[in-house]
Chains A and B, each alone.
Chain A
């Protein structure tokens, strides 16, 4: 016999009800007195506790949370503890050559295929004032192996004497977290529709979080293009900030060299200086730029740039 839909629904309802009825039939009344005694004991024992007992009870109850908190606090303290770090900033290859070989050696070095950026400084040796010229070649972003290879290549050039490879390093004292972030802090900022003021604030906040409290950067708009300007910086801070998207990217990269090891004013070689002037003034030809070597008041050799453009 076919069951009616109503009858089936009734049966389904009854099945659910019978399940609930089974649960409703569970009777715990027998355990009430026992429960009451246990609860009264717990209530009385907890009300008897004095302040120190309550404190110990709370400590016991939350000892795992407290342990975690203490561990976190210790980690933060350990990260804030200053540590000394020695950073290699680059390598210096110095050698002597007789004054008549200077141009030849310079040409040969120029012909060498050195992939890393470098600066070459040439000045009169203090040992033999007229006869010898001292070369200082500063290599940046290079490892020891590559710099040794370059040194070996240079030592093969005729006339090169007393070639020495020195690693340039600096010793810093800073918190662990700053040390970890420092090597090397990269900051990519997506400007979207943010104003220069907001971007400035955002970048400076990130720098401060990375422990660079004395460094300040400013975002300005020049001729409709966003530019990053370094306002203040600490000598120990190394960072790279990229502002913008793939099409309009402005990059500010700061990597400090030790002033004792390198004469910062003479980092640019003659060719690099020429290139730089041409980049800044694209309408100039090579003939328009004259680079003159001069001795300044401190006795150091400096390069002077003269631009002469005829319309």
Chain B
């Protein structure tokens, strides 16, 4: 089991960040406790079942499938967790990443709001495609779909929805404009000082 777990971590390391990102944006509310819980539970299940994975080249799609399943289970079982005292909640994993600038936060918040407009399946597909980097064929297998065309149309539909929402609600993403504004402010300050 221990040797298995070491091997498991060897395979996990290259996809570790991908898994956390997928887990994080798959959760409904970006709640830190929620996605850390889902991630931790998924990793425990994956580590336990790792011996049963015969084709190790499919590790990434296999672990993403587990995350998807555990995420569904988490919200199904969440009702009972409401009654567990705070002391009983397992300690946080403290998953950290490099801090964002205000502009990055704007974009992420906007994307999160846009993702909320998608259906569960649509959200899963687009995240698998964009964050997981899976091909349509792989997404078909992960989502247990019968045809590629249904995945294709779902992806196209989701992207269209995201595009409409983001462009309707976007702040000014244009960096050039921002630079111009900064320059003008500096000029005004120089003039007043001068």
Contact = CB atoms under 8 A, between A and B. Distances in A.
Interface of A: 12-13, 15-16, 18-20, 22-32, 34-36, 38-40, 42-44, 47, 60, 64-65
Interface string B86-108: 00100001111110100010011
* Most chain B CB within a 10 A radius of its CB, from A19, A34, A35: A19
A31 B94 contact: yes
A31 B24 CA distance: 15
B47 interface: yes
Contacts of B136: none
Contact of A29 (B5, B17, B100): B17
A31 B111 contact: no
A35 B93 contact: yes
Q: Is the interface of B mostly helix, strand, loop or mixed?
A: helix
26 contacts: A12-B166, A15-B166, A15-B170, A16-B166, A22-B100, A22-B104, A22-B107, A23-B21, A23-B111, A25-B104, A26-B24, A27-B97, A27-B98, A28-B20, A30-B96, A31-B93, A31-B95, A31-B96, A31-B97, A32-B16, A34-B93, A36-B9, A43-B5, A43-B47, A47-B1, A64-B84
A49 to B, nearest CB: 13
B95 A28 contact: yes
A249 to B, nearest CB: 45
Contacts of B96: 28, 30-31
Contacts of A43: 1-2, 5, 44, 47
Contacts of B25: 23
Interface residues of B, number: 41
A20 B131 contact: yes
A42 B41 CA distance: 11
Interface of B: 1-2, 5, 9, 13, 16-17, 20-21, 24-25, 40, 43-44, 47, 80, 83-84, 88, 93-98, 100, 104, 107-108, 110-111, 114, 130-131, 159, 162-163, 166-167, 170, 173
B22 to A, nearest CB: 10
A77 B18 CA distance: 52
Q: Which 5 A-B pairs have the closest CB atoms?
A: A19-B111, A28-B17, A22-B107, A26-B97, A19-B107
B139 to A, nearest CB: 16
Contacts of B40: 39
Contacts of A40: 2, 5
Contacts of A44: 2
Contacts of B167: 12, 15
Nearest to A64: B83
B155 to A, nearest CB: 12
Nearest to B164: A12
A111 B111 CA distance: 87
Given A16-B163, A29-B16, A64-B83, A24 B21 contact: yes
Nearest to B90: A42
B49 to A, nearest CB: 13
Contact of A39 (B17, B44, B100, B130): B44
Contacts of B1: 43, 47
Given A15-B173, A28-B97, A29-B16, 20 more contacts: A12-B166, A15-B163, A15-B167, A16-B159, A16-B162, A18-B107, A19-B108, A20-B111, A24-B130, A26-B17, A26-B98, A27-B97, A28-B16, A30-B96, A34-B94, A35-B43, A36-B9, A39-B5, A43-B2, A64-B83
